[in-house]
Amino acid sequence: MSTSFTDRERAAVRSVPGARANRTGLIALAVPHLEEPYFAELSSRLVRGAEARGMAVLIVQTEGEHSREIDVANGVGLPEIDGLIHIPRSLTVADLTRRTSPGPLVLLGEHIEVSPFTHITIDNRGAARTATEHLIAGGSRRIAFIGRRDARPSDAADQRHAGYVEALETAGIAADPRLTAQVTAFSAEEGERVADEMAGTISELDGIVCSNDSVALGALAALAARGCRVPQDIAVIGIDDIRAARFSVPALSSVAPDHEQLVDATFTELERQLTAPLGANLPVRHVTIPARLVKRASTAR
């Protein structure tokens, strides 16, 4: 479900009389890796959003490890907080249903299938479909996808790969398994490694869709080192639209989530739980944030 909120709705959420009188003004944000630019930028946006609402944020880096994500969900090692925004990598529905600290919770980023918990995500499948369609419209036909991670599955990466395949099939282009590459992490280093291998072994490669911008920046570095011209020889596009995308050479095309709406939806959903009477049977909401294509030089043929 895609949901947006008006000022009136946000004000109504804040004004609901509830039983949570002893609020600390502190919320926790569990994030996998702050060295990943997307998570660092998202955390900064969430901190600013919290400050605008009179809250402070405690940031906990989980490294995406299952045990640490469970500990944070259970409040282990945390001070008293009003609620939790959790960006999970390994949590399951079973983990969350066994929470020993069942306070207000909003899941953000990664999707847990058939989740009975409030969740905010972008349309990952649609974002990758848009990215792939853009390369096809520019004349690319041998298009690779860098960013599946089957060893440690990521639902976002799976959905993005599915969107890539869908765009190819809609355009009548057969999806070649050799053009889908695995990564061990969604990092620039992995993008550089994989793009170098693909450029050296796959003939007529003329486009690359990357599962995120960090992977794409690494791919640009590898192609430049090989003397491949971007976009004349190989067009490259990422997803997330991190700040560095504007300053790469060439500047990186990307698919940008509506960051303002993502932050707004996150706090609206958190405040909806914070202001509800204890024991209230609140409906679970799954909010999908739209994304838009940002065209830059890396695809400007």
Q: Examine domains 7-122+258-290 and 124-256 and report if their fold is the same.
A: yes
Indicate the helix (H) or strand (E) that contains 255: strand 253-257
Sheet with strand 105-108: strands edge to edge: 56-61, 26-31, 83-86, 105-108, 119-122, 286-289
Q: For residues 150-166, b (16+ Cβ closer than 10 Å) or e, as one string?
A: eeeebbbbbbbbebbbb
Q: What is the pLDDT along the chain (301 residues), one digit of tens a residue?
A: 444 444 443 443 333 333 455 789 999 999 999 999 999 999 999 999 999 999 999 999 999 899 999 999 999 999 999 999 999 988 888 898 899 888 999 999 865 656 788 999 999 999 999 999 999 999 999 999 999 998 877 888 999 999 999 999 999 999 999 999 999 999 999 999 999 999 999 989 999 999 999 999 999 999 999 999 999 999 999 999 999 999 999 999 999 999 999 999 999 999 999 998 877 788 889 999 999 999 999 999 8
Query: Which pLDDT does position 8 carry in this prediction?
Result: 42
Bridge partners of 57, per DSSP, are 27
Place of tokens 């299952």: 66
Query: Which pLDDT does position 111 carry in this prediction?
Result: 57
Single-letter amino acid, residue 110: E
Q: For residue 4, which of 262, 257, 293 has the smallest C-alpha distance?
A: 262
Q: Domain boundaries in the chain? A: 7-122+258-290, 124-256
Backbone angles phi, psi at 136, to 5 degrees: -60, -45
Residues with Cβ within 8 Å of 34's Cβ and at least 6 positions away in sequence, in order, are 40, 43, 59, 61
Angle at 126 between CA 270 and CA 295, to 5 degrees: 105
Strand 119-122 versus strand 105-108 pairing type: parallel
Tokens of 178: 């050799």
Up-side HSE of residue 148: CA atoms within 13 Å toward CB? 17
Collapsed DSSP state (helix, strand, coil) of residue 243? helix
- How far is the C-alpha of 108 from the C-alpha of 88, rounded, in Å? 7
pTM above 0.85, yes or no: yes
Bridge partners of 58, per DSSP, are 28
Collapsed DSSP state (helix, strand, coil) of residue 175? coil
CATH for 124-256, among 3.90.1010.20, 3.30.465.10, 3.90.550.10, 3.40.50.2300? 3.40.50.2300
**Looking at domain 7-122+258-290, what is its CATH homologous superfamily?**
Response regulator (3.40.50.2300)
Single-letter amino acid, residue 101: S
